[in-house]
Structure 1
């Protein structure tokens, strides 16, 4: 029986402010390892990208260590929604305008390959991470938006062979138990996994392959040292022939060139208490992952056991853990599913994603250092893929390192040195755009 509570009078909003994922797979420090004096490759960051790169390098016989300022995976790798979308923020037309049609099509095609790679990797390596290829429904606001999305789904099916199709409003409740949207689209190449379990399993196979991971080891500086690099850390200094930077939303002063190009943005997720089976069957009948076609759209999904709903979105706060962003997400959940008004929230937490001016993931090289970064909120697919491509780039494997995302660095953000003071205003601007679009769609 569900407990009836008033969310307005509940000052803490949710029972726990730590990620729901940590209940089954907590992040932990690793046993302290001796610091090697010399390495073939030093990797900065031990999230999905750093571990994937380290795994590939270690299996090729390289001496390689990854350094993480926190517990491995404590950042976005275990705080995300676990949706394998591999989405790209700019649409096809925008990418074509900026980089040309050839690059745009290559990026679209690589998304399909990257998802297939991830699914095969999980299966081949035997990673126990609750992965299910359940598909994704994307909600439309208004008939005009629905028509545009339907044409896009048709293009995906024809050009890339992706199972993708439109869902008219009359059939919407077969996919999601709400009338909030006016139809939408489905693509069946997207699924869900348990992100903390995925990271823990990736860490397991990487360590077994010979990667050394130093947790709670801050990288202070990366400097040229003859033909290689000297990496100064809180545990000492190591000489490395090559350096790979795989930080993203938690990039710090050790990578100042990257820090001026990545803007950390808070993303927040709420989780309901366990819901009755008939409620879950009514609200999420196909147990799909869900997203929306708006600038600050929500993303949501059932928990891997099918008993809860997780809902996430962007958070304009920058310090502390204020109540307003939590209440905004709860209001969004109520708008979608009014019958959940009195349902208690078990968890609410936030973490950083990283945006850049192109809004595209990237591999690039600067002064001999290789960077694999810029996942823009879709790191479940892109971080392992880009991390492995970067590793093969370091090893000189031409075909295995080939990717449409290996090109110039993203442009620096003017007047930015790591403090995203402007983000609340930008997010508010997106929110206004969404309100205007929603108003027009409802006329």
Structure 2
């Protein structure tokens, strides 16, 4: 296909998800002069925190520089992995065996947590327990996935097993991979509908939400905070930062500890039912095992392919990122060579230098940040936990609370090192592929 013919006549350089649930800020109104808690960041983290605080009788105000839910919370792929990425990692050397085990078990519990939250609040977001298929990029990757599959089954309490190469077409209509790992404890949802429903639930509980309200300064005087914004100031007892990959200069200590990484997605035009059944026979959400991974799925109505990946380190023209993703998708599914793109977009995800999400306080300021691109359930959980930490009570402290939060010298929140890292990871993936 020529470059221009890749794109449908009604192509849009914005998220496909916004067709059903475009983020919109509530009427601006006047900021309150005082609030018990101010939450900075109107995505999953901040809204989950605000919902729990408001349900417990705390006055809470949520501020976001953009519309509520505008950034990663309505731009991601809608894969709900429930801590599986952490379950696949070996953190015992970093944290000790006991803390690492607690952390992994808590991460796995984020899937039932978000499922219960959606049910309790009646959020219509196309949530479905689909299971997840991780496509092995090489025989080495297959063996690494196989070494952890029994542990995942034990942690999740749900089936998890390996699918050898000769059976992988039961899960994906492609011969590109070398088999893979099937985990039943995973789900998919419509991310923009979910963040909209979470915002509505927080408002019903009494939280006040203000989009288009950038925080410019945070100042602590004695035991109280002054939150200065472009629209005025609010005095409060507690501040919670849930800005994740959009953490800015108002919180420089946190900005130095999260790395914003661009993630790109496309949506195809509607496809015939027979074709989508061939591509994803069992309707799983999927990802591959590369360090520079791709993640993909069918849209909730089963009519389109949504394909995401890291084809650059910063935002670019959506047609160019769409071209790169289309080429990547067609290497896996050559049968999509002539399928056009209707939407192409990007959003940032937040990585940390130890690849672990962090929850805690710094100089009295609460924070919950850094889910390495797997934040739908985890950030919802960490926001809830941040609220519980502020409220106090008998609940057991989260295993994510108070971990050392590392950075590196000379890093100020602008990730100058990402192009080199991306090239190195691609090279390692290529070497693994050549070996089998």
TM-score range, shorter chain: over 0.9
Alignment deviations for residues 305-343 of structure 1 (CA, whole Å, 9 cap, x no partner) = 000010101242425426553332111110111011010
- Between the two proteins, the alignment pairs up a number of residues equal to 435
Residue 284 of structure 2: which of 264, 280, 288 is its match?
288
Following superposition of structure 1 onto structure 2, how do residues 185-224 of structure 1 map, counting pairs within 5 Å? 185-224=181-220
Structure 2: 5+ residue stretches without partners: none
Distance 2:255 2:169 in 1: 44
Q: Is the 8 A contact 2:131 2:184 kept in 1?
A: yes
Please state if 1:427 is matched with 2:422: yes
Q: TM-score scaled by structure 1?
A: 0.94
1:91 CA displacement: 6.4
**Secondary structure at 1:399 match in 2:** coil
Please state if 1:146 is matched with 2:125: no
**Secondary structure at 2:80 match in 1:** coil
Q: 1:321 to 1:414 in 2, by over 3 A?
A: farther
Q: Is the 8 A contact 2:41 2:241 kept in 1?
A: yes
Please state if 1:352 is matched with 2:348: yes
Following superposition of structure 1 onto structure 2, how do residues 3-402 of structure 1 map, counting pairs within 5 Å? 6-10=1-5, 15-87=11-83, 89=85, 94-321=90-317, 323-399=319-395, 402=397
Distance 1:173 1:88 in 2: 23
Q: Is the 8 A contact 1:88 1:359 kept in 2?
A: no
1:429 CA displacement: 1.3
1:418 CA displacement: 2.4
Q: Which segment is superposed worse, 9-18 or 29-38?
A: 9-18
Distance 2:258 2:103 in 1: 20
Q: Which segment is superposed worse, 404-413 or 181-190?
A: 404-413
Identify the residue that residue 437 of structure 1 maps to in structure 2. Answer: 432
1:295 CA displacement: 0.1
**Secondary structure at 1:151 match in 2:** helix
Alignment deviations for residues 330-388 of structure 1 (CA, whole Å, 9 cap, x no partner) = 11110111011010011110011111101111101110001111121111011110000
Structure 1: 5+ residue stretches without partners: 1-5
1:225 CA displacement: 1.5
**Secondary structure at 1:266 match in 2:** strand
Distance 1:33 1:64 in 2: 16
Q: 1:411 to 1:426 in 2, by over 3 A?
A: same
1:414 CA displacement: 2.1
Distance 1:142 1:132 in 2: 29
Distance 2:234 2:320 in 1: 45
Q: Is the 8 A contact 2:74 2:195 kept in 1?
A: yes
Q: Which segment is superposed worse, 43-52 or 135-144?
A: 135-144
Identify the residue that residue 3 of structure 1 maps to in structure 2. Answer: none
Q: Is the 8 A contact 2:7 2:340 kept in 1?
A: no
1:412 CA displacement: 1.8
Distance 2:336 2:43 in 1: 34
What's the C-alpha RMSD, in Å, of the aligned pairs? Answer: 1.7
Q: Is the 8 A contact 1:141 1:181 kept in 2?
A: yes
1:160 CA displacement: 4.5
Q: 1:133 to 1:11 in 2, by over 3 A?
A: closer
Q: Is the 8 A contact 2:242 2:383 kept in 1?
A: yes
Distance 2:129 2:378 in 1: 17
Identify the residue that residue 407 of structure 1 maps to in structure 2. Answer: 402
Distance 1:100 1:339 in 2: 47
**Secondary structure at 1:249 match in 2:** helix
1:141 CA displacement: 2.8
Q: TM-score scaled by structure 2?
A: 0.96
Q: 1:319 to 1:300 in 2, by over 3 A?
A: closer
Q: Is the 8 A contact 1:7 1:342 kept in 2?
A: no
Distance 1:93 1:303 in 2: 29
